[in-house]
Amino acid sequence: MPPFVLPNENNRVTQLAEFIGKRPVVISFNRGHWCEYCQIELLALQSALHEFAQRDALVFSIMPEFQPRRLGLELNDTIQFLCDADNGYALDLGLAIWLGDEFRDLYLKHGIELQQYNRSESWFLPIPATFVVGRDGLIADRFVDPDFRHRMDIDAILSALDKAS
């Protein structure tokens, strides 16, 4: 998995390299607090905290904004929210798309003001994706789908963690 260096809610820099060799990692790219499908996925991840803890796995939610409190999720040692400002890491991985003027206007019409949430005028969003990374730093499984309604199933994540061990 390509390395990242991203800030958390306390502006503490988190590096993927800190965990390689120590524990498996689940990396979930999410669009933002305003995305109902991201909320559903994050609630599903949170509901599996016990299973992740049994596998000594850490979960990262990476999004272009940092609004975990708006998500109404509990912050803990198992799920960490990281901010990918301007989608730099997502762009490096080929996982960011430009929404274009038509979608920008549609989002604004529905009160989704990405420029405020993301503190950027770029109108890029990450493609929802999940990567399961073993202790060796290799991707054990991944799920990428430009249709933001589709996400990796929790059972598939747990299975990949089991295989990566």
**What are the DSSP calls for 114-148, one per residue?**
HHHHTT-SS-EEEPPEEEEE-TTS-EEEEEE-SST
pLDDT digits (tens, 9 = 90+) for 115-160: 888 888 888 999 999 999 999 999 999 999 999 999 999 999 999 9
One CATH from 3.40.30.10, 1.10.1060.10, 3.40.50.300, 3.90.79.10 for 5-164: 3.40.30.10
Name the average pLDDT for the chain: 90
pLDDT of the residue at 164: 87
Name the strand (E) or helix (H) holding 5: strand 5-7
Average confidence (pLDDT) over 37-51: 91
Q: Domain spans of the chain?
A: 5-164
Q: Is 148 exposed, middle or buried (0-12, 13-18, 19+ CB in 10 A)?
A: middle
State the pTM of this model.
0.91
76-96 pLDDT tens trace: 556 888 999 899 999 999 999
